Structure 1
Amino acid sequence: MKDIEERKASPPSPSPLSKSKYDYYGICFIGGMLSSGATHLAITPLDVLKVNMQVNPEKYKNNGILSGIATIWKEEGSYALWRGWSGKLCGYGIQGGFKYGLYEYFKNFYAADDDRALIKLNRNSIFFLSGLSAQLLADVTLAPFEAVKIRVQIQRNFAKGLVDGFPLVYRNEGLAGFYRGLVPLWSRNLPFSMVMFSTFEHSVDLIYRKIMHRRKEDCSTAQQLGVTCLAAYTAGAVGTVISNPADNVMTSLYKKKAESAMQAIKSIGFINLFTRSLPIRIALLGPVVTLQWFLYDTIKVLSGFPTSGGLARDQKES
């Protein structure tokens, strides 16, 4: 009875769409852009190591993360660890804005219970479809930046960054050069995004119901952000395992070690698709995804919106 009275007494958390929906989606875009750009910039040295481990697996076969970074530093200098930083900052910043903003839009669109909804979707379908739709469009904006970034990282004399890299790619390969890896990029990011968003949503729900034993609305802001971090790390780790094969194929295509995805798969080997560079990717993406969600939700909270997790219709039903 006491628990029921406390729930009645606590004011309901405002729905994300209680304010102007354009304000909400705008904040989600800005939050996604700032959080993604900043976190990907911070782990540029790890990304450089990951790409080199994929391109030269024999050279780095017995190297750990620290020894691998030390090898690059010794052979090429400290600047080599920051190759492609502008592509990370700009490319993943823009992609992150569209990914998080569109995810929130599609999540509400697919969960609509009015005339817009052709069929009533269950929660799993909503999360999967929202992640798929958002990432599909977001990667179109990322592909040109990724094409330049990887070339800068693996071809020493190619270019210094985006400013001189974009004209070189266009001059040598035309517009097609910017989207050479779009399909492998989709094959890596679409499964990752679908699994990551779905795992995050279910983890948030599970933590509140089974661990906290409280509604999100009844928890402090610090507790809510803690739940966000825990769910985000879980989501990042699971998504990394799913997307690792496509990440290896994409790097092989950009390096031009293979002319097609099937040729790259045969060259790399089935087992190596799942294991090559997996530890470095987990070490790289786990903290990145966690910090992204933390910064993203912090920006939402500071803007007067609730932390992520759940559907708008859940609040109506409750």
Structure 2
Amino acid sequence: MASRTYNANPFFSSAFFAPSVGEKIDNATAQAQAKAEELKVKGEKMAGVYGDKAYNKLQDAKEIVKDTASVNPTGVDLYARFALAGALGCAITHGALTPVDVVKTRIQLEPEVYNRGMVSGFRQVIAKEGAGALLTGLGPTVAGYSVQGALKFGGYEFWKKVAIDTVGIDSARENRTAIYLGASAIAEFFADIALCPLEATRIRLVSQPSFASGLFPGFARIAREEGVAGFYAGFGPILFKQVPYTMAKFAVFEVAQEKIIAATGKTKDQLVGSQLTMVNLAGGLIAGMAAAVISQPADTLLSKINKSKGEPGQGTTSRLITMAKQLGPAGLFTGIGARLFMIGTLTAGQFMIYDDIKRALGAKGGAEIQKVPK
């Protein structure tokens, strides 16, 4: 900005004063103005330097926040979120359906007593043992299926990604059902290693209410009296039950979800939260029904073999064969009504909770290999 010019005041100018009062005033004013202009220039320079720095810092902070919010988790971080979502989904659903599982197990183990359907089974258990009996095995159920859910869902996403990376995305889309089946089978195998001891404890508590007062006493008693073999006596049946169940569960769900989304005329990314929830519920219900039928015979054998200890020298395989012959086809499907209700509801809830929690944690999608609509 140009400096303002101060002219000498003619009123104070006089040849009689050397220098005159007017000149002194004018000189002082001019010096003050010059100093002010100098300070102003310095201030503007400083403000420019520090203002630019402050502005740049602000922009950097904004970029950091933006980048943090937009970057999706990867690697261990991503699969840990899948595992957490799976653990919560399985723990919540299995825990909530513990009363149904208690009645279902009683029907399988004592069909001569509990032979009037699921509703009557509830009434019989309550009349005989009280309402609290319906929560028998809640502890091992929640603990066991938390671990199993983490390994199953997290493992499924992991092995699916491995398969896609191995064969390529185009080949994976053409063979997606085989990938769904393979990834779920591998994931379930490792999940069952963790689940089996807790499932053995749960069934023992349900079948023998006086066996122990809860998870830890029951677990400790089996370990003390039967050792590791007691926990894994049902490992064969649990694989026979859980692996086909999980294969059907994930493969049918993926196909059902794909068909349901295609019927909407949109892609998965175009669906809002409530629409995705309904898709997951519908797909999960269909998958649960299919999985329940496929795994029912093994579920019955698992309940039977964990009810009590085997005879000395009797192997697990021979026990299973003997039980299957004694039960026959009809006996192997005892309690199918209760299990259809339980597994259909449970699976629908699992996929809904899993997907909602997964999205809330920022672990969107996973390895998607559904057919892209043309």
For residues 120 and 83 of structure 1, the distance between their equivalents in structure 2, rounded to whole angstroms, comes to: 44
Distance 1:110 1:292, change over 3 A: same
Question: Residue 170 in 1 paired to residue 223 in 2?
Answer: yes
For residues 212 and 119 of structure 1, the distance between their equivalents in structure 2, rounded to whole angstroms, comes to: 24
For residues 184 and 113 of structure 1, the distance between their equivalents in structure 2, rounded to whole angstroms, comes to: 32
Does the Cα contact within 8 Å between 1:108 and 1:311 map onto a contact in 2? no
Does the Cα contact within 8 Å between 2:238 and 2:298 map onto a contact in 1? yes
1:218 aligned partner, one-letter code:
Q
For residues 67 and 94 of structure 1, the distance between their equivalents in structure 2, rounded to whole angstroms, comes to: 33
**How many pairs are equivalent?**
297
- Partner in structure 1 of residue 117 of structure 2: 64
- Partner in structure 1 of residue 11 of structure 2: none
Q: Which of 99, 108, 111 is 1:45 aligned to?
A: 99
Distance 1:290 1:175, change over 3 A: same
The DSSP-based 3-state class of the residue aligned with 2:165 is coil
Does the Cα contact within 8 Å between 2:160 and 2:367 map onto a contact in 1? no
Identity %: 31
Query: CA offset at residue 225 of structure 1?
Result: 1.7
Query: Which sits farther off after the overlay, 31-40 or 300-309?
Result: 300-309
Indicate the structure (1 or 2) with the bigger Cα radius of gyration: 2
Question: Residue 111 in 1 paired to residue 164 in 2?
Answer: yes
- Partner in structure 1 of residue 256 of structure 2: 203
Query: CA offset at residue 64 of structure 1?
Result: 2.5
Does the Cα contact within 8 Å between 1:208 and 1:216 map onto a contact in 2? yes
For residues 1-318 of structure 1, the aligned pairs below 5 Å read 18-61=72-115, 63-113=116-166, 122-209=175-262, 211-256=263-308, 260-273=319-332, 275-306=333-364, 310-311=368-369
Unaligned runs of 5+ in 2: 1-70
- Tell me how large the CA RMSD over aligned residues is: 2.5
1:134-181 C-alpha deviation (Å, 9 max, x unpaired): 000000000000111111111121001111011110111111101010
Does the Cα contact within 8 Å between 1:107 and 1:130 map onto a contact in 2? yes
Unaligned runs of 5+ in 1: 1-16
TM-score w.r.t. the length of structure 2 is 0.75
1:110-138 C-alpha deviation (Å, 9 max, x unpaired): 111579xx999811110000110000000
1:310 aligned partner, one-letter code:
E
Query: Which sits farther off after the overlay, 215-224 or 255-264?
Result: 255-264
1:245-293 C-alpha deviation (Å, 9 max, x unpaired): 00011111112497611011011112321x3110000111111111111
For residues 299 and 247 of structure 1, the distance between their equivalents in structure 2, rounded to whole angstroms, comes to: 29
Flag the structure with more relative contact order, 1 or 2, with Cα contacts below 8 A and sequence separation at least 6.
1
1:13-43 C-alpha deviation (Å, 9 max, x unpaired): xxxx953132221111000111111111111
For residues 49 and 293 of structure 1, the distance between their equivalents in structure 2, rounded to whole angstroms, comes to: 24
For residues 360 and 72 of structure 2, the distance between their equivalents in structure 1, rounded to whole angstroms, comes to: 16
For residues 169 and 301 of structure 1, the distance between their equivalents in structure 2, rounded to whole angstroms, comes to: 40
2:117 aligned partner, one-letter code:
G
